[in-house]
Amino acid sequence: MPRMAIGRAILAALGLTVAVPAWAGALGDLAFTQRQGANLPLDARFTDTVGRTLPLGAFVGGHPAILSIGYYDCPNLCALEREDLLHALDGSGLKTPDDYTLIVVSIDPTETASVARRARKDDLGRHATPGAERGWHFLVGQEGSIRRLADAVGFHARYDPGLKQYLHPMGLVFATPAGMVSGYVLGVGYRAGDVRQALARAAVGQRAEASPVLLLCFHYDAATGRYTLAVRKLLRLGALMTVLVVGTMLAMAHWRRAR
């Protein structure tokens, strides 16, 4: 039996189609391109929750910084990402702004300071963190500033005009007091120790190893008509690909014996 026919038979048995590799490739295009050592555009201007428009460097403020990039009216994981981060910071023993500054940036240039203010108020209502009035910055910006920051940290996003939603990766960027990208903590479900370690590296200007984790803030669910968390389907895809590899190996071994 020809090898191509074997492959097609296995794909048919698993219910997979040739669209799977293309789908996986599309996901990869939205992952972070990790750029440890790159410099943040500290002169790019953003607006905070009280309406001040300042260079990004003013919000970094000479402290190790955590950047959370998403958007405030996200219907999927952006709020969950912030909640996980703030919960991890609660248990980290770190203080803001002495140990870190938190910079939350919207990728949606249509979002306003009032939208950022509401998100900040909601987060502070659940996490009454001393020093947050000086160390937590929820920002909005114009498209040019957003693009410069996204390019600097390797953040890839795509807007779906039909669904009016952004497709983008999940994760945190850690920067040194001088504004250099130190490392990333990707996905969600952040642990206090991971955040503390990433900030410790950033504080002394160290660059962390790249992480292979991929989690995206989208998945279109035809039943609900919206993008939702794709973890289950990603896991299913991984399981199916594992079965495909094992099945291919067994089929090839059988084919060789038959010859």
Instruction: Specify the number of domains making up the chain.
Output: 2
Task: State the average pLDDT over residues 42-71.
Answer: 97
User: Of 178, 199, 214, which residue is a domain's last?
Assistant: 214
Which comes out higher in pLDDT, residue 122 or 78? 122
Q: Which residues form the domain of 16? A: 3-27+221-258
- 123: CATH: 3.40.30.10
CA distances from 196 to 90, 137, 187 (A): 11, 19, 16
Quick one: pLDDT band at residue 189, thresholds 50, 70, 90?
Answer: confident
pLDDT at 12 over 50: no
pLDDT at 117 over 60: yes
The mean of the pLDDT values for the chain is 81
Both 12 and 43 in one domain: the answer is no
Task: State the average pLDDT over residues 176-181.
Answer: 98
**Distance between CA atoms of 85 and 96, rounded to whole angstroms?**
14
Both 176 and 248 in one domain: the answer is no
- Interval 242-256: pLDDT, tens: 666 666 767 676 666
- Interval 131-155: pLDDT, tens: 999 999 999 999 999 999 999 999 9
Instruction: Give this prediction's pTM.
Output: 0.75
